[in-house]
Chains A and B, each alone.
Chain A
Amino acid sequence: MSFLSIRGLEKTYPDGTRAVKGFDLDVEQGEFIVLLGPSGCGKTTTLRMVAGLEIATRGQILLGGTDVTRLRPSARDVGFVFQFYALYPHLTVRENIAFPLKSTGVPRPEIATRVAAVSERVGLRGIENRYPSQLSGGDRQRVALARAMVRRPQIYLMDEPLGTLDADRRLEMCEFIRAQQLDLGVTTLYVTHDQEEAMSLADRIVVMSDGEIRQVGSPADVYENPRDRFVANFVGSPGMNFIEGLVEQRGGRSVFVPSGAAPKVAMQVPETSVAGAATLGVRPEYVRTDDAGLLEGEVVLDEYLGSHHYAHVKTPYGRVVMRAHASHAVGSMVKLSFDPSSLHVFDRGTGKNSRSLAHA
């Protein structure tokens, strides 16, 4: 029996909107799980159902062996951290952190000890007497984390906690959250739309769209073996390149020919690929310039990112983005080839990756 077990969870709002359409997940104790997806995918609703802030329309949530599906939030022993810090403006940092303990009747001396310990841990020593309005965004977020951590709940539920921070503070807070979580070993469910955040924090990522789970796996697994086209595009910045075309069998091998291309423009693809209409997928880091390359196109944009570039190449079969160490002049023509072992073939109709069909 896993620590957190979610079975057939659904949420339908009175207006008929199906925010979550059947969510199943088992989480082991101490795991860091990230729910990743675009806005409106149901990730926050799922988290709020685990917290008890929304009541499930159908399904079951078991936490530490107890059915909590219909329990009040306060009876669930969860620590919730929101995107908007929701600190009490009229209370000091110390009082904000102590608040959840006071409301559950912990004796005073113990409150003082625990608040001091957690303030130390999250780096708030020396500013305990300030008010939230006197703090930077990063410090306010630390207070919000400290307030969640002071209770040692069974599980942390975090809803885009870094959402409003500056980019460079996010990175720092990401490392901080991960270190804290590893240290305390508290199971964590964390919601974000940011795939980089998900990659760096998660033990496992749950990719969602349209109220459904698209894939559950380690960051490397989700990145390297996306189950479908949606995951391939959503995970990765920029996402995977797609080219429409046909898979054919030639001399016992599967090849992919882009739509509208001459038959000689054929790329060898995994043997699991089914003949017929398909979408070829390749990540930008597996695209290279190659004088013998079969795809020719014009560089239409060179995105500089410091350590690398993304060259956007307009080919007759669609735009292809290449990760490169040097710049490519806009307007220049390049020939491209793809690392054959890195190619994915997605079914045109279902969007499923032929590799995962073979594994299934």
Chain B
Amino acid sequence: MPEAYLAIESLTKRFGKVQALGGIDLALGKDELLVVLGPTGAGKTTLLRTIAGLEEPTSGTIRMNGADALPLSPAERDVALVFQNFSLYPDWSVKKNMEFPLRAPGRRLPEPEIKERIAWAAGLLKIDHLLERRASRLSSGEMQRVAIGRAIVRRPRLFLMDEPLTNLDAKLREALRLELVHLRRKLATPMIYVTHDQAEALSMGDRVVVLAEGRVLQAGTPEEIYRKPVSPAVARQVGQPRINLLSVEKRNGMYTTRGGLPLVAARQELNGATRLILGVRPEDVSLEGGQHEASIELVEDMGPAKVAVVSWGGERVHALLDKHAPQRPKDRVYPRVNPERVVLWPTD
């Protein structure tokens, strides 16, 4: 990476006997949105809090803008944290909440500048009409907009977002996720965005870091994470409906399921491996063109597409279908796995 704003090496964090972070390496570019994706308990929040200076690491280094950040206080690091739980002062007006960081001792801006920044942020986030309202009277979507507004008025050097959209309605989440991406590009400020939502990770991230149990499983572009997951664990983290994972062995030059279903030709480069996990995404399973019969158990209409659950040689396989696909439950079909799109992980 050419110019990293943030560089983290071998970062660990222990709470008593619990190892929350087990040696994290990551870098964040100066104009980059990095998504940290992982389930509850993966260490995502601890990572953010350590970067912000709210937790001290047990070991490892954090560099910001080329300089060691560990001796710096949270204020000196000049990061803005946005949490899942808004954390506004309920009795204050929206305006007062947003002005608060600009009136902090030592950082106080001149009044006209405060006014201008509030107007700018309120305009960007479409909360102009709410400025005089008490925070306790806002809807959750409005509250989160205000919390984001409070973070951007400071023009910090780094945004840290901790599942900021999780408590919002699905529809609102969808809209705000786009707004955040646009906003960040406009501000050209680096951002780390933590989430457990794979759609947010794929669609928002310039790059994605997949975290589990305090370790980085994989870091890459959304396409790399989706198309070339390094392990079944990463493969399962992204994609909806989920990837099909099948245990296969090499038989007669074909990777074949336990039930004897040959799926794709064995690969040269994996010649040594005889037992493998084969991953294939539902959109790479078609219901025509294969050699072996299967039967459709279920067809779920998802709106823009359908998902068929297919019983195939003792396996249950999900296939993504066009929304006008004619197939119905109990239909006989001949599935085919796109060999170009298969991912294989040796297990022996």
Contacts and interface: CB of A to CB of B under 8 A. Distances in A.
Interface of A: 38-40, 136-137, 166-169, 171, 193-196, 199-200, 219-220, 223, 233-239, 283-285, 301, 303-308, 310, 312, 323
Contacts of A323: 304
26 contacts: A39-B140, A136-B40, A137-B40, A166-B40, A168-B196, A194-B169, A194-B170, A200-B300, A220-B301, A223-B301, A223-B303, A235-B303, A236-B303, A236-B304, A237-B174, A284-B304, A301-B181, A304-B203, A305-B199, A306-B198, A306-B222, A306-B226, A306-B281, A307-B239, A307-B282, A308-B283
A284 B202 CA distance: 19
**What's the dominant secondary structure at chain A's contact region?**
mixed
Contacts of A283: 303-304
Contacts of B39: 166, 168-169
A166 B141 CA distance: 19
A172 to B, nearest CB: 9
A38 B171 contact: yes
B203 A303 contact: yes
Given A171-B242, A193-B171, A237-B303, 5 more contacts: A236-B304, A238-B174, A239-B171, A306-B239, A306-B240
B160 to A, nearest CB: 20
Contacts of A301: 178, 181-182
B126 to A, nearest CB: 15
A305 B202 contact: yes
A191 to B, nearest CB: 12
B134 interface: no
A142 B178 CA distance: 34
A234 B300 CA distance: 20
Contacts of A199: 301-303
Contacts of B182: 301
Looking at A169, A219, A235, A305, which has the most chain B CB atoms within 10 Å of its CB?
A: A305
Interface string B283-325: 1000000000000000011111100000000000000100100
Nearest to A309: B203
B238 interface: yes
A167 B174 CA distance: 14
Contacts of B237: 168
B172 interface: yes
B302 A196 contact: yes
A137 B196 CA distance: 14
Contacts of A196: 170, 302
Contact of A219 (B181, B238, B281, B301): B301
B139 interface: yes
B269 to A, nearest CB: 25
B236 interface: yes
Nearest to B181: A301
A137 B170 CA distance: 20
Interface string B1-12: 000000000000
A305 B222 CA distance: 9
B41 to A, nearest CB: 8
A132 to B, nearest CB: 15
Contacts of A194: 169-170
Nearest to A222: B303
A168 B198 contact: yes
A219 B301 CA distance: 8
A306 B301 contact: no
Contact of B170 (A193, A305, A308): A193
The 4 closest A-B pairs by CB, nearest first: A285-B304, A193-B169, A194-B170, A303-B203
Contacts of B197: 167
B171 A195 contact: yes
B116 interface: no
B302 A171 contact: no
B303 A167 contact: no
Contact of A305 (B181, B203, B303): B203
A194 B40 CA distance: 20
Nearest to B39: A166
A200 B302 contact: yes
B132 interface: no
A200 B170 CA distance: 15
A194 B169 CA distance: 7
Contact of B240 (A39, A171, A235): A171
A222 to B, nearest CB: 9
A306 B238 contact: yes
Interface string B161-180: 00000000111101000100
A237 to B, nearest CB: 6
A220 B140 CA distance: 30
Nearest to A220: B301
A195 B281 contact: no
A38 B172 contact: yes
Interface in B207-254: 222-223, 226, 236-242
B175 to A, nearest CB: 9
Contacts of B169: 38-39, 193-194
Contacts of A166: 39-40, 196
A305 to B, nearest CB: 5
Contacts of B242: 168, 171
A195 B139 CA distance: 19
Given A223-B303, A304-B203, A285 B323 contact: yes
Contact of B198 (A167, A195, A308): A167
